[in-house]
Structure 1
Amino acid sequence: MSSLALWNRGSSASLFDRIRGEDTAISPTQETDRLVSSVKRQLERVLNTRCGSCRSAPELGVVDLNDSTQSRADAGGRIREAIRHCIREYEPRIVGVEVFAVDNTTAVPGMAFRVNASVHLDTIEQVASFDIHMDSNRHYRMM
């Protein structure tokens, strides 16, 4: 999948984003905002996929929290690494990925993360931070 990073996409929006909207001329600031929003939506989709549920990419997704063989500390570390792996492998518009566990009282305890990365496409490059929280339904939400 890393070869996709070299692919000239010609637009910051994902395929589905481009299908839904018209391709009009927009400012560089708007283009950057669209790029970051598109990346966030894609990451939310990828991170909410469970390992083994995609036949063409069995390693896609994040570990299942219902696995009773792991401790709470193990789960947090494994999820952090799974998030980092998914971003590196399945979102070619992001480079320099760092994932950190964050203490947060609004998310499931121990299940909040911050992603620091560089989002780029063609001539657009933006350093960005994303907060990932697990909601009460065990779905990852991008903030």
Structure 2
Amino acid sequence: MATLRRWNTGSKGSLFDRLQNDQPRLKGDAAFILSVKNNLRHIFNARPGECHGTKELGIIDVNDALLSTEEIQSSICQSIRHCIARYEPRISQTQVVVRQDPITFTYYFSVIAQIAQVYDVERIELDIHINNNKLEVI
């Protein structure tokens, strides 16, 4: 049975954020950045072909790929850039690079981009780590 839920129409969050409505009430820039991170987490943990309405949504499975080869690293970076450009309109001028943690020697992806705030454009840097077969946006 369908129910009606109250929407916060003043929110700048993604559609998923407004529908779920179960996150802590943050205000201003913190809520905006959290909304972007959550949207990216949803996008990055989808796999191409899984969404019937949008077949190209998602990135290739990084667990199946051997991250040590430059070709695989480059294709994952390109896939991340493509998904951000297509499915997160609040971010622009995106650069994605693969980095290796000097202590644990694990690979992660670093995203440097511009984010459009209401009155300002700000440069942000996000790290994407592989954690339990999922990508976490930090």
**TM-score range for the pair, normalised by the shorter chain length:** 0.7 to 0.9
- Structure 1 residue runs without a partner (length 5+): 1-8
Q: Give the match for residue 5 of structure 1.
A: none
Tell me by how many angstroms 1:53 deviates.
0.5
1:142 is the counterpart of 2:117: no
Q: Percent identity?
A: 31
Query: How many pairs align?
Result: 126
The residue that corresponds to 2:82 in the other structure is: 85
Counterpart in 1 of 2:123?
Answer: 127
The unaligned stretches of length 5 or more in structure 2 are 1-8
Tell me the TM-score normalised to structure 2 length.
0.76
Q: What TM-score comes out, normalization by structure 1 length?
A: 0.74
Q: Specify the alignment match of 1:99 in structure 2.
A: 96
Give distance in 2, aligned partners of 1:106 and 1:44. 25
Q: What CA deviation, in whole Å up to 9, does each residue of 1:81-104 have, x standing for no partner?
A: 100100000001111111111112
Measured in 1, the distance between the counterparts of 2:134 and 2:101 equals 16
Runs of 4+ in 1 over 6 A off after TM superposition: none
Cα separation, 2, equivalents of 1:59 and 1:106: 35
The letter of the residue matching 2:135 is Y
User: By how many angstroms is 1:124 displaced?
Assistant: 4.5
- Give yes or no for contact 1:12–1:31 (8 Å, CA) kept in 2: no
- Higher relative contact order (CA closer than 8 Å, sequence separation 6+): 1
Higher helix share: 1
Q: 1:63 to 1:16 in 2, by over 3 A?
A: closer
Amino acid of the structure 2 residue aligned with 1:133 = H
Tell me, yes or no, if the aligned pair for 1:51 and 1:64 is still in contact at 8 Å.
no
Give the CA deviation at 1:126.
2.5
- Give the aligned residue type for 2:115: V
CA distance in 2, matches of 1:107, 1:47: 23
SS of the equivalent of 1:50 reads coil
Q: Give the equivalent residue in structure 2 for 1:34.
A: 31
Aligned to 1:109: 106
Give the Cα separation in 1 of the matches to 2:10 and 2:122.
Answer: 17
